[in-house]
Amino acid sequence: MEYRVEHDSMGEVKVPADSYWAAQTERSRGNFPIGVGIETMPGEIIRAFGILKKAAARANHALKPEKMTDEKLKAISTAADEVIQGRLNAHFPLVVWQTGSGTQSNMNANEVIANRANEIAGAKLCHPNDDINMSQSSNDTFPTAMHISAVTILEDRLIPAAEELIGTFQMLEKKNKGLVKSGRTHLQDAVPISFSQEISGWRSSLERDVQLVRLALEPLSELALGGTAVGTGLNAPEGFSEKVAEEISALTGKSFVTAPNKYHALTSKDEIVFAHGAVKAMAADMMKIANDVRWLASGPRCGLGEIRIPENEPGSSIMPGKVNPTQCEQVTMVAVQVMGNDAAIGFAASQGNFELNVFMPVIAYNFLQSVRLLSESIASFNIHCAVGIEADAGKMHHNLHNSLMLVTALNPYIGYENAAKTVKLAHKEDISLKEACVKLGFLTEERFDEVFHPEQMV
């Protein structure tokens, strides 16, 4: 491999000749050989850095045109656009497990954009620190990148995926309207419920989850950029905070504002904790929905068997013909991962010492992994399972009329204690509720038929 020599404040460093990164990125590559090639800084963070560096250059051009010249702005903007588009991702090799402020990743962005801008300009025009990092610090850029990436992935991926599944449930509600089945609580028979009512519970849960995620977007829209090293805004011109937030909004098409208190913005990660709590709530509901679906589809002969789900692949290497609820299983595994990530995020967010939290890369990594996985999980479950759910009306009817909890309808006529006696006799002698009720002398056959209508109990 061919190398070139770069330098930083600590001296000279050999860097691969074909890379846009420079000395500080190379030092980090050597100092943190942890999770290389697997746990690199998320692409969403890299893209967010491209956005904020371009926005910062625009703001600096407006406020400090003598330093951020037209020529520099043009070259930086072009290079930043390539970062935003993902065309330079190969030049961002750093892992999550680095300095807790994300300093090396900020410098990685500075070096890549500076070197690419210089290549575009055909001259040594831009310096990583003096130009690309102008009016900034790693301490305010990394939390800004976190918020940009969080808002973007929630709005563009998680909410649309959830809304697609909500639409599927709405379709299933209409399709199964009027179909009555046995309800279940504690995994035991309960009073009747219509299948559309059961599905509406799934739908409503996801609708509330989307509402909670949307509530989390407003706090995430506040950006730390402009606070620089400790929140005082040292070396940033007056008006930079507001101007750069406007530019980021323009570049993303989303609404961002400057954080009113930069000391809070640098050290506290409560907005991310709150937002991930909403993500975890959705994961918890998806766990519940997936479990309901696989219980209802259990069988095909020895389970509940009240619904049929798509058969996507063979389920066993030894049992011919076996098919498993694999989409439900992937959902539940993703939900477990999201819950684990939530614990990591909570612990990390509690470690804001004095003027800076130094657990930001792991917070960003876990947050983005959760949203990415959950978005893809929901989309896959919708396409490969939910849209193909079919009710087995015959099995539902059989289970409904075989349920002892239908006796609840008799409470107003024979009382709770007599109804309990009826259930116990029916269960003990394996006879119907009607037979037990008549045998005990609580109702005549004719009166039983008059008052006992399971389909009307919903």
User: In angstroms, how far is CA 83 from the centroid of its own chain?
Assistant: 24
451 strand-pairing partners = none
Pairwise CA distance, residues 285 & 102, whole Å? 33
13 strand-pairing partners = 6
Annotated active-site residue 186? The verdict is yes
pLDDT tier, 414 (very low <50, low <70, confident <90, very high otherwise)? very high
Which domains can be identified in the chain, with CATH numbers?
3-134 (1.10.275.10), 140-180+194-220+261-392 (1.20.200.10), 403-457 (1.10.40.30)
pLDDT the model gives residue 178: 94
pLDDT the model gives residue 277: 98
pLDDT the model gives residue 296: 98
Residues 176-193, mean pLDDT to the nearest whole number: 97
pLDDT tier, 199 (very low <50, low <70, confident <90, very high otherwise)? very high
pLDDT the model gives residue 271: 98
Annotated active-site residue 401? The verdict is no
Please give, one letter per residue, the 3-state secondary structure of 51-105.
HHHHHHHHHHHHHCCCCCCHHHHHHHHHHHHHHHCCCCHHHCCCECCCCCCCHHH
Measure the CA dihedral 285/287/291/293, to 10°: 60
pLDDT the model gives residue 96: 98
Mention every residue, 6+ apart, whose C-beta is less than 8 A from residue 304: 295, 296, 297, 298, 395, 399
Average pLDDT, the chain: 97
pLDDT digits (tens, 9 = 90+) for 79-115: 999 999 999 999 999 999 999 999 999 999 999 999 9
Q: 156, 120 in Cβ contact below 8 A?
A: no
pLDDT the model gives residue 458: 92
Pairwise CA distance, residues 329 & 349, whole Å? 30
pLDDT the model gives residue 227: 98
pLDDT the model gives residue 443: 96
Structure tokens at 97: 């497990």
Distances from the Cα of 115 to the Cαs of 107, 368, 388, in angstroms? Answer: 12, 28, 52
Query: pTM (2 decimals)?
Result: 0.96
pLDDT the model gives residue 147: 98
Pairwise CA distance, residues 86 & 82, whole Å? 6
pLDDT the model gives residue 159: 98
Instruction: Say which of 7, 204, 255, 316 is annotated catalytic.
Output: 316
Q: 219, 274 in Cβ contact below 8 A?
A: yes
